[in-house]
Structures are given as C-alpha cells and as structure tokens.
Homo-oligomer: A and B are copies of this chain.
Amino acid sequence: MEHLGQNGLISEHENGITLCCDEECSEKERVTTSIQYAVKVLLMGLGEDINREGIRKTPLRVAKALCEGTRGYVKSVKEIVEGALFPEGGVEKNKVGDAGGVGGLVIVRDLDFYSYCESCMLPFYFKCHVGYVPSAQRVLGLSKLSRVTNVFAKRFQEPQRLANQVCSALHEGIQPTGVAVVLLCKHIPFPDMESNSLHSNHKGVLGILVSSGSGVFENKDANLWADFFGLLNFRGIDKDKIIDKGSLDHCWCPSLSSKVSPRNEEMNPAMVTAVASILKSLGEDPTRKELQGTPARYTKWLMNFQCNSIEKALNGSLGSCTNGALKTNCVVGFDEKIHSELNLPFLSQCEHHLLPFHGVVHIGYYISKGFHPIEKRLLQSIVHFYGIKLQVQERVTKQIAETVSALIGENVIVVVEASHTCMISRGIEKFGSNTATIAALGRFSTDLAARVVFLNSIPNDT
C-alpha cells in the first residue's frame, strides 16, 4: 500500500479539518470528509489508482451512501408517532369481540427495507411484516409502522436486535395490547476462494426469519401469533422457520464463519483503522462488542476484490487451459449448434459505490474450426475471474465475451443478469430491480435469429 503522504491525502484531510473548524462547516461535512479519507485508504489498500476516472468520486459516493444509510441514529420515533394516533372506537357495547380501536389485529405486510450488517458493514435487504392489536380506542396511521421500522433499519444492525428494537419502539409509541414483528432478512453471499463459488442456500442469497413480540405477543405460543401467522401464510411465511432468539450468533453473516473470519493482525492495519474510523464518524462505538471484529472482517471482504493477487493466480490456470484446448482434438467444420452454459453465478464489487453486485452469467457460443467446446468449470473460472474485482457490469460482460471468444474462435454471446446493492441501498431503494447486459461477438453480432434462439433458451426463473 502506498504512503498517504505521497498522495497528498494528509494535506487534503488537514484541509478538510481546517475547513471544519470554520463556523460555516456543518457536522455533516466533517463526517463526509472523514469518511472520504478513510475510503481512499481502502481503495489504495486494494491497489487501485484513486485518480482513475471510474473511482475518482467513489469516496464521496460511499460517504454519502453511508450517511444516508445510517441516518436512523438521529431519528426520533416519538416525532413520527406523535400526531398519527387517530381515535377509533371498539365494537359496539352489545357485542362481544375485538375490532377497530380496541382489539382486532392490524398488519402491514411486505414492507421492503435495507439495513447494514454490523458484522461485515454490507447492506442487507429485509422484508418486514409488522402488526399490532390496538387499545385505548386509537389506531396508528399505517405508514408510521413503516417509518418507525426505517428508524432502526438505518443503523448497523443484526436481524434479531432490529426486530426487537422495532417492536419495543412501537409498543412504547402506540401503547397497544401488543406488537408483533416478523423480518425476512437476506444477506449477500461471501465468495469461497478455494472453490470459486458462492456460499448460499438460495439463488446466491442467505435468508433468515426472525420475530419479536410484545404484550399479547410476548409469549411465542400466544394465540394471537396464530392469527398473525395465519395472515402471513398467504405470503409464504412458515413460522416453523423462524429462528429462536439467541441462536442466531453464528448463522447469519457469513463473515462470522470460522472459515472466513479473520484475526485483526492478519489484515492491513491502515485499512482496519480506516474502517474503524468510518464507524466512529457515523456515530457508532467501534469498541462495542459486536463491532470489535467488524473492521477486520470488512477489510477481509474487500480484499477479495483487490486488483492483483487473485488475478495472477487465475491467470495462470486460465492460460494453461487455453493452451490445452488449442492443442487437443479439433472439431471439423463449422458447428451449427449453439453451445451454452446458463446460470453461472458471480459476485462483483461496483467500483462506483464500493458495493457488491451479484447474479448469473449466461454464455452461448458456436465452435469455430480448430476449436473445442469449453468445460463448464473453465467458463465458471472465467466468470469468477472477471467478476471478483472492482467492476462495472458492462465491462465484466465485455471481458467475459472477449476471453471466451479467444477460446472458441469469435462467435460468442454473453448475458449478465445482476442485482446491484447500490440500487437497493442509498437514496434509490429500487428493491426489485435487476440489470441485464449483453455482449455479442462475431456471428452473434449480426445474426438476429441466433441471438433470439439463445435468449429464448434462458429460463424464466433466473
């Protein structure tokens, strides 16, 4: 890693601090400046040129995103709930039962959010189902259930604590008969460098269910939970899959697995210090128990995407495979069949936002005279090789296509489908969105029918 002084970083930082001493300079600017400095340290730790155009403004983008994503620390639940409690009567006096402002469950389902994993500092997505049983002849405006959830989502969190905090805050704010919260949280997978594959249990994403209840929902076996899950069953939520409180410690964030979790002394100390300073700038206490290992874990995650070492290692194996393919038996003549490998998983890091994107790659090709089909294992290595660095999806698509083209003689089509963490976190929050890119070389660039045949072969469920 380069020395900071050589890059003019210290003076820039000092300027920042000088500026911040000015009465005009807000706390926000001070935080942003300090995070930008730390991100530059991280980029240099990855071996990146921090003046390269694609990443020149990345420190600013990261700082803005982190401030936006952790703004929950300074939000007040009281202000949100205040003025949003509306008088609403219970059932008529001559009737027995629960409804309206006294009893009668109210659930808002399928609320999409993102939060930050306190173990690894990556954003995670969660779907929230939140309900309460009104009391005291008043009901809460429905949107407030969402807004209160967001106060606790926009912090460094762990699923069970998040559920507990939302539940307690709503209970205090509404003073109802009870509050129930169910969260389906999805963590993005971590790469397993040995096998070039992703640890995951479902489409590249790790999902867990947690719940929290207060008042009539405090006991997990309370009758009201049966109503709550009755209404969630429509959404495919199975209550038996909910994780018991306290059993979550080692099964949520992949950075906590013994295989991945690093010791502080194994990691670049400047990077670890930079990450700790980011946590502090955002108002967190980096010495709090759950955060103590986070700087090392985030650094280790980030180092998966460094420019050099992995590239070198894979480059070697790629070279030998290529030579092998060229030397062995040849397919005679031009093959009219499209060879394809669909749904090859990949993980990459968006260089604009220093946030992961992941998905699948579909590759189709014709084999030119003198070339061979390519083993799936080699295609997966190529995909992994170009994915696992600071990237943009357009470039990784092109690079995979060019590399495969050299192996089979020109005619290749590559489709990449990916979910970008930078599209669900930050101010943008487009939760279902998904990006597709195409590269078409040789015959595929001119033969529409060939492209259509290949595109139609990609299954719907990806």
Residues of A within 8 A of B (CB): 53-54, 57, 83, 86-92, 95-101, 103-112, 131, 134, 139, 141-143, 146-147, 223, 226-227, 230-231, 233-234, 236, 352, 392-395, 397-398, 401-402, 405, 410, 414-415, 417, 420, 422-423, 426, 428-442, 444-445, 448, 451-452, 455-456, 458-460, 462
- Give the residues in chain B near A423, CB-CB below 8 Å: 108, 142-143, 146
A458–B223 Cα distance when bound, in Å, is 19
- Of the candidates B143, B395, B405, B459, the one whose C-beta lies within 8 Å of that of A428 is B143
Residues of B within 8 A of A54 (CB): 86-87
Which residue of B53, B110, B452 is within 8 Å of A86 (Cβ)?
B53
Minimal beta-carbon separation of A348 from chain B (angstroms): 13
A112 in complex: contacting residue of B352, B432, B435, CB < 8 Å: B432
- Residue pairs across A and B with Cβ atoms less than 8 A apart, 9 shown, are A97-B440, A99-B414, A99-B441, A105-B437, A108-B423, A110-B434, A230-B452, A231-B436, A231-B455
Q: Which of B110, B436, B460 contacts A109 (CB 8 A)?
A: B436
Distance between Cα atoms of A11 and B228 in the complex (Å): 49
Contacts of A458 in B (CB 8 A): 234
Chain B residue, CB-CB nearest to A405: B95
CB within 8 A of A227: which of B432, B451, B460? B451
Partner of A440, one of B53, B98, B429: B98
CA of A8 to CA of B225, assembled, Å = 49
Task: Give the CA-CA distance A362 to B52 in the complex, in Å.
Answer: 60
A397 touching B99, Cβ below 8 Å: yes
Cβ of A430 to closest chain B Cβ, rounded Å: 5
Q: Please state if B438 and A92 are interface contacts (CB–CB under 8 Å).
A: no
Residues in B whose Cβ lies below 8 Å from that of A422: 142-143
Which residues of B have CB within 8 Å of A352? 86, 141
- Given the known A-B contacts A91-B441, A352-B86, A460-B233, are A420 and B142 also in contact in the complex, defined by CB atoms under 8 Å? yes
Q: Are B436 and A398 in contact (CB under 8 A)?
A: no
Knowing A111-B433, A392-B139, say if A104 contacts B438 (CB, 8 Å): yes
Which residues of B sit under 8 angstroms from A456, Cβ to Cβ?
A: 230, 233
Collect the chain B residues with CB atoms within 8 Å of residue A227's CB: 438, 451, 455
From B112, B230, B395, B459, A88 is in contact (CB under 8 Å) with B395
Which of B86, B91, B226, B451 lies in contact with A398, CB distance below 8 A?
Answer: B91
Question: Which 5 pairs of residues, A with B, have the shortest CB-CB distance?
Answer: A230-B455, A99-B439, A97-B441, A100-B398, A97-B445
In the complex the two chains form, is B104's CB within 8 Å of A394's CB?
A: yes
Residue of B nearest to A142 (CB): B435
Contact of A91 among B134, B439, B452 (CB under 8 A): B439
Q: A455 vs B226: C-alpha distance in the bound complex, in angstroms? A: 9
B432 and A97 contact, CB distance less than 8 A: no
Asked if B105 contacts A441 (CB within 8 A), the reply is no
A428 to B80, CA, bound (A): 13
Chain B residue nearest to A448 (CB atoms) is B223
Cβ of A364 to closest chain B Cβ, rounded Å: 12
A441 to B94, CA, bound (A): 11
Q: How far is the CA of A388 from the CA of B440 in the complex (A)?
A: 55
Beta-carbon contact of B109 and A83 below 8 Å: no
Is the beta-carbon distance between B97 and A394 smaller than 8 angstroms? no
The answer to whether residues A97 and B401 also contact, given A106-B394, A142-B393 and a CB cut-off of 8 A, is yes
CB-based contact A444/B110 at 8 Å: no
Q: How far is the CB of A231 from chain B (nearest CB, A)?
A: 5
Contact present for A394 and B100 (CB under 8 Å): yes
Please give, as numbers and ranges, the residues of chain B lying within 8 Å of A96 by CB-CB distance.
410, 441-442, 445
Which residue in chain B gives the minimum CB-CB distance to A414? B99
Q: Is the CB of A97 within 8 A of B448?
A: no
Closest to A435 in B: B108
A410 pairs with B95, CB closer than 8 A: yes
Query: Which chain B positions have C-beta within 8 A of A430?
Result: 110-112, 143, 146
Least CB distance from A175 to B in Å reads: 16
Given contacts A97-B445, A109-B434, A231-B455, contact A394 B440 (CB under 8 A): no
CA of A141 to CA of B146 in the docked complex: distance in angstroms? Answer: 29
- What CA separation (Å) do A142 and B83 show in the bound complex? 39
Residues of chain B with a CB closer than 8 A to A233's CB: 455-456, 460
Most chain-B CB neighbours within 10 Å: which of A414, A431, A451, A455? Answer: A455
- CB neighbours (8 Å) of A455 from chain B are 227, 230-231, 233
